[in-house]
A and B are shown apart, each in its own frame.
Chain A
Amino acid sequence: MMRVTLTMKPRSNPFLPIEAEQIIPENFIGSRQVMVYEGNKEHSLLNICVIRRDGNVNTPENVSLILRGDWSRVKRVGEYMSSGTIVVEGDIGMHCGNFMRAGKIEIRGNADAWLGREMRGGVIVCHGDAGDYCGSGYRGEKRGMRGGSIEVMGNVGEFAAEYLTGGSVAVHGNAGCFAGVEMRGGYLTIDGDAILPAANMVAGECVVKGRVLEMVPTFERVGEENGMIVYHGDIANRGKGRLIVRSTSRTE
């Protein structure tokens, strides 16, 4: 195993966003220089953080990156990651795990928006809350997350799992508006409450174990399973997805 600890240095302008898509395990094998953008300026990773390596390995699956300090403004960590692990000890910025293919990202704090955007495989676990568009797609694209799994222990913002196409998103807290909107496959489970879940879905399965505070009116009730109500829809969109809820505010 090799542990690579990246400790963020104090920054003169801590609000400036950093884009760091090169922070993936494979780039820390050998002596490759890792570059990041801070605002519109390109820097070596060494300019923004202290790097400490423990151990030495040749294969990325044995690399574990530890992100320490304030990474809440650092975007695109773990993008296209295909093996190894990343552990974020605090919060992480937007687009963590974009297009991720394999490996594991663990976030001990909160994740900003677009966590695991267009993810293809691998595992993301976020112990805190995740922002809007957790496990979603990109603007205009017809498919969102296609594989892998995202688990969020806290709440998620709006549009979680938008265009979910494959893989699974599990939210243990509450979801904002429009979780699972435009779903076309995959599994979304929300342990807490949701508002207008699975709107316009075409396929896939969305389970809400808490309360559905508002229900899209165009789901067809087809029966009950394990004490939960099963709907098909979204009928407005010729959809054939499954929405399974414990209770709704909807009056039949």
Chain B
Amino acid sequence: MMHDATIHPSALSDILIKNAYLVDPIQGISGERVDLCVSNGVIVDAVSEHAIVIDADGALTLAGGIDSHTHVCGTKVNFGRYMSPEDMRAGRTARRGVMYPTSGYTVPTTYGNSYRYSKMGYTTLLEGAMAPLEARHTHEEFAATPLQDMAANALFDGNWNLFEAAQQHDYRQAAAVIAWVLRAVKGFGVKLTNPGGSEAWGFGDDLASLDESVPHWDVTPREIIDTTIKANEYLDLPHSVHLHCNNLGMPGNYTTTLETMDIPSALNDRRQTLYMTHIQYHSYGGSTWRTFRSESLAIANAVHNHPHICVDMGQVMFGRTMTMTADGPMEFRLYTLHHNKWSNHDVELETGSGVIPVYYDRKNLVNSIMWAIGLEMALLIKNPWQCLLTTDNPNGAPFVKYPEIIALLMSAAYRDEQIATVHPSLGKRAPLPTLDRELSFEEIAVMTRAGQARALGLIEEGKGHLSLDAAADIAIYPIWPESMDPAAEYEDIISGFSQTLYTIKDGVIVCRDGKVVQKIENKTFWSDAYVPPQYDVEKNPRFVEMFDRFYSVQFRNYAVQDEYVRRGHPLVRTGKWDTEGGG
């Protein structure tokens, strides 16, 4: 079989971007006109005279966008599509130029995701949740999401081998399990979704607190989280533990969130020690839906007091969307509220998942408060490196809503205009109407790429910045910061961030004025962490026995073969085994 190169030679030309208004927080550039030179896919000093010249004329130029928590590929995403022909009726496009047909709005087809992210200047995506047993599926879809480099967090929340290590507080054993799984399934980071809860859901239960034991397993969420974080740092993985806290979506859950923040101490000086995803869903006060309120102030304060923690917003936007998570019991609770279609998919020895469609209604008080909380987190947390912009796509809203969120954060006037359209009691339950902060372009750049690159440990891979030798992933937006006031001209912010003038990926112009113009192939980041031979789980009889007796696939058929990651990009880590005497 022969695969011919997809990139036309002309697409590999050098590029000179003149008069770029560059905002690059990692380099400490908060807005200045520069010329950017691109050659062989990276940022260079100078280009040949044959370079394609783009005169940006002061247009906002950022490193390619990075989404550090999105659901775009894999079993449950595809189930969202599969069960929703009504959603596929929106957003249908036919084959055009190099673009394949697309369908869908809340859960678009893979090409739909890839093209629409590219149109918004995104070049790197982290799939937030991959069940290890179903990893091939995620990787198959990665190959059909070509305009972004991809990485997948592997789910460990119900992993029996990890439970056994956590019971003993044995983070070395936990590290050995994690390293083995990540290598086997070509996973990037460690995701815990409602740790312990998804296992409890295996018999229809859930866990209500960090100290409740998982049924049949003498281990608590606190122990799972603590052991996993220590193991993650012991392996020195690029990304920290990526945690979806217990009790998502429950009134009063903010106390669980605060308790969770106290679990880890600072263990890493490059990045956070714990990434707490979609914090909006975990910042709820009150004790019932009737007394539901925002506790964003408490959570934001805790974030200030825990500089080793990073969160993402999980912003909710009004309209219809699809919720999908490994948090099976939460989805069932949601189903009993909405009585709409409900899918659930528990994965043996590993995790669970659920999918249901929802409609966030701006006239509904609870939905209005949810909408406010996400914005409050971004406005209250002083350090943008600690609060990244996401919707937990598509849970809070499809990612195409990001430009509206950016405008809401940059313009108090736009917020006031929107607050006037939501439930009138919002101000009694949420502080949003009192907040007047307006974020700068630099802060938005942190929250949409630089912060993500740092949180994911991808700065060294040339992501999130445009320093010399960095990946030439560049987004040029039709926004002219030198001559506009984003607080007043928020409509232009929305349209500007919705469609780049140019999206450049690895030095190739892939999207221009919203139209994909070039086919490329992406790469997949995965974590290749060293484990000393005496910790090799394959030689551990207990591990092998667990596998042989209780999985429903053969051990030899579990690990994802190399052809599923043809352009795999392993991030090799030696860990702390030697320095701490573990091996």
CB nearest neighbor in B for A237 = B339
B545 within 8 A of A: no
Q: Considering only CB atoms and an 8 Å cut-off, how many residues of chain A contact the other chain? A: 5
Distance of A67 Cα from B86 Cα, bound (Å): 31
A142 within 8 A of B: yes
Is A139 within 8 A of B340, CB to CB?
A: no
B83 within 8 A of A: yes
Distance of A106 Cα from B83 Cα, bound (Å): 35
Scoring B residues 314 to 350 as 1 if CB is less than 8 Å from chain A, else 0, what string do you get?
A: 0000000000000000000000000011000000000
A225 within 8 A of B: no
Is B340 within 8 A of A140, CB to CB?
A: no
| Residues of the A chain whose Cβ atoms lie less than 8 Å from the Cβ of B85 | 138-140
B89 within 8 A of A: yes
Is B340 within 8 A of A142, CB to CB?
A: yes
| Residues of the A chain whose Cβ atoms lie less than 8 Å from the Cβ of B30 | none
B431 to chain A, nearest CB (A): 35
CB nearest neighbor in B for A142 = B340
CB nearest neighbor in B for A143 = B86
Residue from the set A138, A139, A140, A142 with the largest chain B CB neighbour count within 10 Å = A140
Scoring A residues 131 to 155 as 1 if CB is less than 8 Å from chain B, else 0, what string do you get?
A: 0000000111110000000000000
| Residues of the B chain whose Cβ atoms lie less than 8 Å from the Cβ of A138 | 85-86, 89
Interface of B is mostly: loop
| Residues of the A chain whose Cβ atoms lie less than 8 Å from the Cβ of B86 | 138-142
B residues 496-554 in Cβ contact with A at 8 Å: none
Q: Considering only CB atoms and an 8 Å cut-off, how many residues of chain B contact the other chain? A: 8
B84 within 8 A of A: yes
CB nearest neighbor in B for A139 = B85
CB nearest neighbor in B for A137 = B86
B83 to chain A, nearest CB (A): 7
| Residues of the A chain whose Cβ atoms lie less than 8 Å from the Cβ of B83 | 140
B82 to chain A, nearest CB (A): 10
| Residues of the A chain whose Cβ atoms lie less than 8 Å from the Cβ of B340 | 142
Distance of A142 Cα from B340 Cα, bound (Å): 8
A99 to chain B, nearest CB (A): 11
CB nearest neighbor in A for B84 = A140
Distance of A139 Cα from B83 Cα, bound (Å): 9
Count, A-B residue pairs, CB within 8 A: 14
B91 to chain A, nearest CB (A): 15
| Residues of the B chain whose Cβ atoms lie less than 8 Å from the Cβ of A140 | 83-87, 341
Residue from the set B83, B84, B86, B89 with the largest chain A CB neighbour count within 10 Å = B86
Distance of A139 Cα from B341 Cα, bound (Å): 13
CB nearest neighbor in B for A238 = B339
A136 to chain B, nearest CB (A): 13
A85 to chain B, nearest CB (A): 28
| Residues of the A chain whose Cβ atoms lie less than 8 Å from the Cβ of B89 | 138
CB nearest neighbor in A for B82 = A140
| Residues of the B chain whose Cβ atoms lie less than 8 Å from the Cβ of A142 | 86, 340
Distance of A141 Cα from B357 Cα, bound (Å): 11
CB nearest neighbor in B for A202 = B339
CB nearest neighbor in A for B88 = A140
Distance of A140 Cα from B87 Cα, bound (Å): 8
Distance of A141 Cα from B86 Cα, bound (Å): 5
A16 to chain B, nearest CB (A): 20
Distance of A141 Cα from B340 Cα, bound (Å): 10
Distance of A138 Cα from B90 Cα, bound (Å): 13
CB nearest neighbor in A for B340 = A142
Scoring B residues 59 to 92 as 1 if CB is less than 8 Å from chain A, else 0, what string do you get?
A: 0000000000000000000000001111101000
B94 to chain A, nearest CB (A): 11
Scoring A residues 217 to 231 as 1 if CB is less than 8 Å from chain B, else 0, what string do you get?
A: 000000000000000
Distance of A138 Cα from B85 Cα, bound (Å): 8
| Residues of the B chain whose Cβ atoms lie less than 8 Å from the Cβ of A141 | 86
A residues 116-140 in Cβ contact with B at 8 Å: 138-140
Distance of A141 Cα from B341 Cα, bound (Å): 10
A residues 165-211 in Cβ contact with B at 8 Å: none
CB nearest neighbor in A for B339 = A238
CB nearest neighbor in A for B87 = A140
Distance of A139 Cα from B84 Cα, bound (Å): 8
B312 to chain A, nearest CB (A): 30
A115 to chain B, nearest CB (A): 19
B residues 83-141 in Cβ contact with A at 8 Å: 83-87, 89
Distance of A197 Cα from B84 Cα, bound (Å): 26
Distance of A141 Cα from B83 Cα, bound (Å): 10
B271 to chain A, nearest CB (A): 42
Distance of A147 Cα from B86 Cα, bound (Å): 19
| Residues of the A chain whose Cβ atoms lie less than 8 Å from the Cβ of B84 | 140
B185 to chain A, nearest CB (A): 31
Distance of A142 Cα from B341 Cα, bound (Å): 9
Distance of A120 Cα from B84 Cα, bound (Å): 22
Distance of A140 Cα from B356 Cα, bound (Å): 12
Distance of A88 Cα from B216 Cα, bound (Å): 68
A145 to chain B, nearest CB (A): 15
B582 to chain A, nearest CB (A): 52
B357 to chain A, nearest CB (A): 9
A141 to chain B, nearest CB (A): 4
Distance of A139 Cα from B85 Cα, bound (Å): 6
Distance of A142 Cα from B85 Cα, bound (Å): 11
CB nearest neighbor in B for A141 = B86
B556 to chain A, nearest CB (A): 39
Distance of A140 Cα from B83 Cα, bound (Å): 7
Distance of A140 Cα from B88 Cα, bound (Å): 10
A35 to chain B, nearest CB (A): 15
Distance of A140 Cα from B86 Cα, bound (Å): 5
A178 to chain B, nearest CB (A): 19
Distance of A69 Cα from B86 Cα, bound (Å): 34
A202 to chain B, nearest CB (A): 9
B335 to chain A, nearest CB (A): 14
| Residues of the A chain whose Cβ atoms lie less than 8 Å from the Cβ of B87 | 140
A5 to chain B, nearest CB (A): 33
B402 to chain A, nearest CB (A): 27
Distance of A102 Cα from B341 Cα, bound (Å): 31
Scoring A residues 70 to 97 as 1 if CB is less than 8 Å from chain B, else 0, what string do you get?
A: 0000000000000000000000000000
| Residues of the B chain whose Cβ atoms lie less than 8 Å from the Cβ of A139 | 85-86
A96 to chain B, nearest CB (A): 19
A217 to chain B, nearest CB (A): 22
| Residues of the A chain whose Cβ atoms lie less than 8 Å from the Cβ of B341 | 140
CB nearest neighbor in B for A138 = B86
A98 to chain B, nearest CB (A): 12
A42 to chain B, nearest CB (A): 12
Distance of A141 Cα from B90 Cα, bound (Å): 12
Distance of A140 Cα from B84 Cα, bound (Å): 6
Distance of A98 Cα from B200 Cα, bound (Å): 46
B356 to chain A, nearest CB (A): 12
A114 to chain B, nearest CB (A): 14
B143 to chain A, nearest CB (A): 27
B339 to chain A, nearest CB (A): 8
Q: What are 14 A-B residue pairs whose CB atoms fall within 8 Å in the complex? A: A138-B85, A138-B86, A138-B89, A139-B85, A139-B86, A140-B83, A140-B84, A140-B85, A140-B86, A140-B87, A140-B341, A141-B86, A142-B86, A142-B340
Besides A140-B84, A140-B341, A142-B86, 4 other A-B contacts (C-beta < 8 A)? A138-B85, A138-B86, A140-B85, A140-B87
8 cross-chain pairs, A with B, having the tightest CB-CB distances, nearest first: A140-B86, A141-B86, A140-B85, A139-B85, A140-B84, A138-B86, A142-B340, A139-B86
